[in-house]
């Protein structure tokens, strides 16, 4: 297996793809990038990568045999991470619904447009301690500006939830309430491979204020010509997701239940609208 990441989508490395590519550069992860407008070459799937990332990449860029081959690689031990966007999950036009790779994801997909824009923000909270969520300032949770609605499968574990805010201003001042709470990061396993579903994008605009999360600034220059300046907690979270899902660092599958903090272990976020889910077995 190649100890590298195969990263599909987010347009070019001089554009939105610079964000995840910049995080991987900073963390020392080797990667190959396929821009959103380029179709996948068969050669790319001959030998398995440690991790496949699909982020805002149109499903038509893959052939059906390629998606089946990618699913086989995950079953044999490669990682799979899908990141939110207009061309992820269902997206605008049902991108990955009933496609072979959907079977490997730790979430069900909506059967209709799953995009949710949050003009007033969505607070990202940790609901379960995990190697991915360790060492981050969850006492100062960040905001994102949008996500895809995802529905955890029974074997999936929700690590991050989102509280979508409703804010009104009247004579008594600002009133802030939670419109609904949704899963934002779900992890799981497909046979031998680790899998993760991140509901929001990692580049503007859906990333919102999370791109600046953390006390310190990190600047990264991408060899392809792009660059990013972002918060250190943002970098650590994305680096942890990539490292854990692709087994690029020695991180456990999860922590024993007795090691979890009581507050983080107790909350369960589930999908209740089963009519929107893709009926996978």
Would you state the pLDDT for residue 281? Answer: 29
Domains annotated for the chain, with CATH where assigned, are 2-256 (3.40.50.880)
Q: What is the pLDDT of residues 238-279, one digit of tens each?
A: 999 999 999 999 999 999 875 544 344 445 565 544 444 444
At 246-256, the pLDDT tens digits run 999 999 999 98
- In this predicted structure, what is the pLDDT of residue 275? 41
Looking at the DSSP assignment, which residues form a beta bridge with residue 158? 186
CA–CA dist 29, 49 (Å, integer): 12
Judge whether 6 and 57 are in contact, CB under 8 Å.
no
What is the pLDDT averaged over residues 173-193?
97
CA atoms within 13 A on the CB side of 135: 12
Task: Specify the pTM.
Answer: 0.92
Where does residue 141 fall: left (phi above 0), alpha (psi -120 to 50 degrees), or beta otherwise? beta
């Amino acid at each position: 297996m190649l100890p590298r990441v195969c990263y599909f989508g987010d347009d070019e490395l001089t554009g939105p793809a610079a964000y995840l590519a910049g995080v991987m550069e900073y963390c020392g992860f080797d990667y190959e990038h396929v821009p959103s407008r380029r179709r996948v070459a068969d050669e790319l799937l001959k030998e398995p990568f440690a991790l496949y990332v699909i982020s805002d990449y149109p499903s038509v860029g893959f052939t059906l045999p390629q998606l089946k081959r990618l699913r086989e690689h995950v079953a044999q031990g490669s990682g799979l991470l899908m990141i939110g966007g207009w061309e992820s999950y269902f997206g605008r036009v049902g991108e990955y619904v009933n496609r072979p790779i959907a079977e490997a994801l730790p979430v069900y997909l909506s059967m209709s447009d799953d995009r949710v824009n949050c003009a007033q923000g969505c607070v990202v909270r940790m609901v379960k301690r995990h190697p991915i969520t360790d060492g981050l300032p969850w006492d100062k949770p960040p905001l994102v500006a949008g996500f895809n609605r995802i529905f955890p499968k029974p074997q999936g574990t929700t690590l991050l939830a989102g509280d979508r805010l409703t804010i009104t201003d009247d004579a008594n001042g600002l009133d802030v309430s939670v419109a609904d709470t949704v899963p934002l990061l779900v992890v799981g396993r497909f046979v031998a491979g680790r899998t993760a579903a991140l509901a929001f994008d990692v580049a503007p605009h859906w990333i919102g204020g999370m791109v600046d999360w953390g006390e310190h600034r990190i600047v990264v220059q991408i060899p392809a010509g792009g660059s990013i300046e972002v918060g250190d907690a943002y970098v650590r979270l994305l680096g942890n997701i990539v490292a854990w899902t692709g087994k690029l660092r020695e991180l456990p599958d999860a922590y024993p239940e007795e090691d979890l903090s009581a507050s983080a272990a107790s909350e369960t976020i589930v999908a209740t609208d089963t009519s929107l889910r893709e009926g996978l077995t």
